[in-house]
A and B are shown apart, each in its own frame.
Chain A
Amino acid sequence: MAEPQAGPPGTVTFTLDGRRVTGREGELVISAAERAGVYIPRFCYHPRLAPVGMCRMCLVEVVGPRGATLQPACIATVEEGGEIVTDSPKVKKAQDGILEFLLINHPLDCPVCDKGGECPLQDQTLAYGPGESRFVEEKRHFAKPIALSELVLLDRERCIQCGRCTRFAEEVAGEAQIDFAGRGERLEVAMFPTRPFTSYFSGNTVQICPVGALTATPYRFTARPWDLDQVESTCTTCAVGCRVAVQSSANRLTRLLGLDSEPVNHSWLCDKGRFAYEAVNGDEVRAGPAAADGRPVTLGSSHPRGAFAGEVIETASKVGRVTEPMVRAGDRHVRAGWSRALAEAARRLGEVRAAHGPEAIAVLGGGRLTNEGAYAWTKLAKAVLGTDSVDAQLGDGLPAELVLALPRATIDETCSAPVVVLIGGDVREELPVLFLRLRRAVLDGRTRIVEVSPRSTALTQYAAVSLRVRPGDVPAVARILAGQPGPLPSHPAGPACSPEQLAQARALVEAAGGEAGSSVVVAYGRSSLAEDPSFDAAAVSTLAVAWPGARFLPLLRRGNVHGALDMGMAPGILPGRTSLEGGRAWFVEHWGSVPRARGKAATEVLQSAAEGGPGSVRALVLVGCDPLQDFPDAALAARALAGAEVVVAVAGHPSPALDHADVVLPVAVAHERPGTTTNIEGRVTRLGQKLVPPGLAWPDWTIATALADELGYDLAIGSVTEIAEEIERVAPAYRGFSPGYLDQVSGHDGLVVPLGTADAPPVAPIDPMATPGIGQVEQQGAPPRAGLTETVERELLAALHPEPAGEGAPAPMRRPAVEPVALPPPDHYSLRLVSTRRLYDRSSAVVGSPSLEPLVPPARALANPSELARLGVQDGERVRVTSPRGQVVLEAGADAGVPKGVLVVEFNLAEPAGAPNAASALIDATVPVNDVRLETL
């Protein structure tokens, strides 16, 4: 290969160990060398953190005007014509010296250390270190591990003071709950005694710790690294789609590590995504001999986390999982084999259809399925059963026709848009890693946020303007932002945001310029589960009309809800972002039949099932969902389940709705089946299979094909690959998309559909020091694209711009007109209910994970301090909250971030045992807004 001459603009050419190589202007020596194939050892440097040059392991010789000097490669930048030497005796001696220094006070407890076997300090000692210790003095001692939180333990003796954890907490998470304390030899990582490290992102510090100083309680002592086996996958705990390495030992998940995906998660995960794998294992946890009090510890009970040294018992019937097909026999379930259970389900559904027509059947759920599973289920519902009453969103989402029709922004585009208008809840609670990305974008000055939300959020402090709204206010605020001045709905306490703030927000949008809003990204979700979705939808619609150039990032948060919608799991649509009407001819051609007319969404389904009568829904198929927990209105869900003649539940985890099921079909969950998933931005990534599903559980798509078989219909899909091929053929938005591309070109970054709308940026090779313990993923998962030559890469990328669809293909969806429902005026005695989400709630992922379950906060009634004062309620006092739907007793909390006239009761939080979810006991999902009264006991 010819040596590069003077490089292209933006690059510099320098000498590295005698070779001429090119780097980017201003690039750090450590990363330029790495790209040129020279790996410089390091500890403190992490590609996602600002360099600090503390450990001094990366010293290299930099030849300058005054001769060669040793400089840290993580600080020095490459210079045109510069010379770097990484392999001289002087460099080697310096690096050996650093290793020796790091080891003198480091305990030699590798055999009992979690990091043993994948420890960079251990590895580098083998690679570079001296043989015998010259240190005969006494080592530094600290009391044994201290708990920084329920999830993270710190062993200070093992710490090498690289500051990765403290820098992560401050720089990335923005929560400096841990910091260095002391000085010199006594420098240690510490928290404030009464303020544990409760950041939602604490697990990342364990992931990036280069030694065994930080360990995670769920993983601690569960496995030795060399027993681990791993696969590349995507976290589907929420819809950000963080890339992960899933590791297991003996068919049990033991750990999830974040993969560094440039367009998505930058290697970070939230703690829910990281630790909720415990729910997949579904084991009972029993205390081992070392448990503090010797008592057995069982699922769901909180055990002393810091002292936890329990063993995990794999019970015959996994207590946290559904493992066998069951059918109802009187008032209980009995085990049934698959054939009997499927036959029973088909018979019952067939009877309903025969007697009442296909519209009497509804399919709810789908957010937990793979794309392939969702496609199979849509085909089963819409082509076989013939119903369009399918809904992957359980009354907590937005109209699919709107979401799918809006031009989509990627996360990267959002994080570099001059202005982001954010409508919805708290991103940190709902899509945690997106919060990290947005926060960084603001701090780096790349974007400014206009936040529109019913209460202050974790992003409020980073927003350029934060507009508080009451339920029903959003459409009016959107009109003002769009430049159509008008009044906000009147309220006795005055508007929740001031005219000045509105003007400021409008000015920001205007200043960003861009034709027709092309410099604006609207990130939108559901503001509150206690108001009609048409308010948020209408607001978004208004902005879409006013700003034809704007792009939209949907913040629907549930697992693979975007994949499910793309696969057609909502009324009025068909796979590939196609409307039922627009795609009718095409899908009739491919499927044989599609539903006669638009079906019902989840709320209408449940209302219909609850009310009964002619034309009503009589059979409910629950696909990995439980309306009793997930639907905002618990009373309605309960009446619907009671009213339905037939309930078939496809379930991975036990939940209350199963009590109503006539047939229960066990399904494989995350990490138990292969496939793909689609995130908020429309990025398709791989789901890896790491485990054999427990008991008799089947993958989601097989259940659909088997049920179709029973109903006498061949779905004509016999494998995940075949489904993927069919999706590529028939679903317009997935045209040209072959999962094979995920291996060939996208590395671990996935690809955005429709292809050609966003190019995949180059993928960096995996740095074994950035995430110790993940080094082997490339052998197991997709090969990083960085290995490809540029030409090959270009050719492959060209293949990703498919020819336009031919004759007969459905036209792209048109944005529907959305009008908000009428907003009833507030009265002086009531507060308007807002229900937002928290990260840790009573979802099965959290409740099934013994490490996370204790972190679910109790539900409280939160109001503005002045509102509480007006009502004569003390902060912390117990109060009764009454709505027309029901009443609950909660602790009142003063929260200045809640506007006057509003009461916040967060959704699905911890309640006294047996008590209902407070918010869903209050919410009537069929009215525009919910007004509640608050009184002292």
Chain B
Amino acid sequence: MSYFNAAMAARARQLVSLYPKARSALVPLCHLAQEQDGWLRPEAMEEIAELVGVTPAEVRGTASFYDMLHTEPVGRYVVSICTNIACLLDGAAELLDHASERLGVPVGGTTADGVFTLEEAECLADCDHPPCVQVNHRFVRTTTADAFDRLIDELAAGGRTEEIPPHGTLVRIRRSGGLRVPPDEIARERAQRAQGDG
């Protein structure tokens, strides 16, 4: 069994090692699996279960709690439009309707070519640029129907890949600093400090 490819597997091991308890890496590993495949495949959940020492049912149960983790395939671009209060006051519902028409899918749907998935989002914390739109969790600040159409055209034509990687890729910066201070070292340090105090 090995779901993660070689490069991802190394990153998976690093993720697990960052935390005092392996299970903490569960969500980061789900993100990693989405980076590899765009969504969270059953095989991925089984491997993550093994990596963090829980059952696959627990991985599925936990992952399904979170909106960003998809246990069904999604498009290369997940377009999220916020319709929460601030955006609602500025035409979010109308933009969402427009998006649905433009992409030809209902909210939650994926285009037949598998390029776009449309989602209605809760507040994305960019309320001074309403209605707020994200593509693959990058703020695109596309607030009008026209601008939205241009964005879709651009993405469909393969543009803006620098700024917007395929769905699933969240953090492209690799951790290069030190690793976790081993717990016994912490204990030693504390003991020393306690002695110094006393």
Contact = CB atoms under 8 A, between A and B. Distances in A.
Given A192-B45, A193-B42, A194-B42, A179 B65 contact: no
B60 interface: yes
Interface in A138-181: 175-181
Interface in A95-150: none
Interface in A178-193: 178-183, 190-193
A190 B65 contact: no
Contacts of B56: 192, 194-195
B65 A191 contact: no
Contact of B57 (A182, A183, A191): A191
Contacts of B54: 176
Interface string B31-54: 000000000001001100000001
B27 to A, nearest CB: 14
Contacts of A176: 54-55, 57-58
Nearest to B64: A181
A179 B57 contact: yes
A182 B69 CA distance: 11
Contacts of A193: 42
Contacts of A195: 55-57
A182 B64 contact: yes
Contacts of A191: 57
A87 B60 CA distance: 42
Interface string A473-501: 00000000000000000000000000000
B40 to A, nearest CB: 12
Contacts, number: 43
A175 B56 CA distance: 11
Contacts of B46: 192
B61 A180 contact: yes
B42 A179 contact: no
A221 to B, nearest CB: 27
B65 A192 contact: no
Given A192-B45, A193-B42, A182 B58 contact: no
A615 B1 CA distance: 61
A182 B63 CA distance: 8
A180 B60 CA distance: 9
Nearest to B62: A179
Nearest to A194: B42
A179 B60 CA distance: 8
B41 to A, nearest CB: 12
Interface residues of B, number: 14
B interface, over-half SS: helix
B44 to A, nearest CB: 12
Nearest to B67: A183
A177 B54 CA distance: 10
Contacts of B59: 192
A74 B64 CA distance: 28
A180 B65 CA distance: 9
B42 A190 contact: no
Contacts of B64: 181-183, 190
Contacts of A194: 42, 56
B55 A190 contact: no
Contacts of B55: 175-177, 179, 192, 195
A614 B65 CA distance: 76
A181 B63 CA distance: 8
Contact of B60 (A175, A181, A183): A181
Nearest to B56: A192
A193 B56 CA distance: 9
A178 B59 CA distance: 11
Contacts of A178: 57
Most buried by A among B42, B56, B62: B56
Contacts of A179: 55, 57-58, 60-62
B65 A183 contact: yes
A190 to B, nearest CB: 6
Nearest to A178: B57
Interface in B50-87: 54-62, 64-65
A237 B45 CA distance: 37
A352 B63 CA distance: 72
Nearest to A192: B56
A180 B57 CA distance: 9
Most buried by A among B56, B57, B58, B60: B57
A631 B45 CA distance: 44
A11 B58 CA distance: 40
A178 B56 CA distance: 9
A585 to B, nearest CB: 61
A370 B55 CA distance: 42
A179 B45 CA distance: 14
Interface string A329-349: 000000000000000000000
Contacts of A183: 64-65
A21 B64 CA distance: 46
Contacts of A175: 55
Most buried by B among A177, A178, A179, A183: A179
Nearest to B49: A192
Given A177-B55, A192-B45, A194-B42, A182 B60 contact: no
B100 to A, nearest CB: 22
Nearest to A170: B58
A833 B133 CA distance: 67
A176 B54 CA distance: 8
Given A190-B60, A192-B57, A182 B65 contact: yes
A181 B61 contact: yes
A132 to B, nearest CB: 35
A568 to B, nearest CB: 47
Nearest to B66: A183
A794 B65 CA distance: 54
A192 B58 CA distance: 8
A5 to B, nearest CB: 46
Most buried by A among B55, B59, B60, B65: B55
A631 to B, nearest CB: 38
Nearest to A175: B55
Nearest to A182: B64
Given A177-B55, A182-B64, A190-B60, 15 more contacts: A175-B55, A176-B54, A176-B58, A179-B58, A180-B61, A180-B65, A181-B60, A182-B65, A183-B64, A190-B57, A191-B57, A192-B42, A192-B45, A192-B60, A195-B55
6 contacts: A176-B54, A179-B57, A183-B64, A192-B42, A192-B60, A195-B57
Interface of A: 175-183, 190-195
| The 10 A-B residue pairs with the shortest CB-CB distance in the complex, in nearest-first order | A179-B61, A192-B56, A181-B64, A192-B57, A181-B61, A179-B57, A176-B55, A183-B65, A179-B58, A176-B58
